């Protein structure tokens, strides 16, 4: 085996351009494979950071007339689905995209993103707040006061992690 290895190294030294191309091809292949696996692991293989992620499913509505596989549903439609549901333990509603708001008050107005979710959203995910409360069933009623659940990042950057903000 030692003789074969010396002979291979001699041949590689005689053709440095071919050797460089081979090494570069291997490096690109290994790098691409590592990158693809990292994305696959983060998106597909790693479990969701929620209690019982294997029990979470996404239920959506589609428009057969227009051939659209996913259509945003109205909140009244969501309430009807939840009231008529006999299959799932619970249904939580949320839009597919974030929305933008301007947060004003103390300091300069700041643009923030978030989602309007049903009151049971955090309960369905099994997520408890680090401080304060999440949403209650009363928060879903027409005319209820507005309630905001702040992300940890926004709480720390905008409010300096002040516990009194709650």
Cα separation, 143 vs 115, in Å, equals 19
Backbone angles phi and psi of 113, in degrees to 5: -120, 155
54 pLDDT more than 90: no
Predicted local distance difference test score (pLDDT) of residue 44: 81
Residue 92 near residue 121, CB atoms below 8 Å = yes
DSSP H or E segment with residue 123: helix 121-125
Cα separation, 32 vs 139, in Å, equals 48
Residue 90 near residue 123, CB atoms below 8 Å = yes
Between 39-48, 82-91, 151-160, the lowest mean confidence (pLDDT) is in 39-48
Tens of pLDDT, residue by residue over 23-36, are 999 999 999 999 99
Cα separation, 129 vs 132, in Å, equals 6
Q: Is the pTM value of this prediction over 0.85?
A: no
Helix (H, G, I), strand (E, B) or coil at 70: strand
Backbone angles phi and psi of 103, in degrees to 5: -95, 120
Tens of pLDDT, residue by residue over 75-133, are 888 889 899 999 998 999 888 888 998 988 777 898 999 998 999 999 999 889 989 89
Predicted local distance difference test score (pLDDT) of residue 45: 81
Q: Which of the four pLDDT bands, split at 50, 70 and 90, describes residue 68?
A: confident
Residue 131 near residue 166, CB atoms below 8 Å = yes
Residue 68's Cβ-count burial label (10 Å; 0-12, 13-18, 19+) is: exposed
């Amino acid at each position: 085996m030692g003789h074969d290895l010396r002979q291979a190294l001699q041949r590689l030294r005689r053709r440095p351009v071919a050797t460089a191309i081979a090494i570069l091809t291997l490096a690109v292949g290994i790098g691409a494979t590592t990158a693809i696996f990292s994305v696959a692991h983060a998106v597909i293989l790693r479990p969701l950071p929620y209690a019982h992620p294997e029990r979470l499913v996404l239920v959506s509505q589609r428009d057969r007339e227009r051939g659209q596989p996913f259509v945003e549903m109205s909140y009244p439609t969501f309430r009807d689905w939840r009231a008529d549901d006999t299959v799932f333990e619970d249904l939580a509603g949320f839009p597919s995209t974030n929305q933008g708001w301007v947060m004003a008050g103390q300091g300069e107005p700041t643009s923030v993103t978030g989602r309007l979710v049903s009151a049971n959203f955090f309960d369905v995910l099994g997520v408890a707040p680090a401080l304060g409360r999440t949403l209650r069933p009363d928060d879903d009623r027409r005319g209820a006061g507005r309630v905001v659940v702040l992300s940890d990042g926004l709480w720390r950057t905008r409010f300096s992690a002040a516990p009194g903000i709650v």
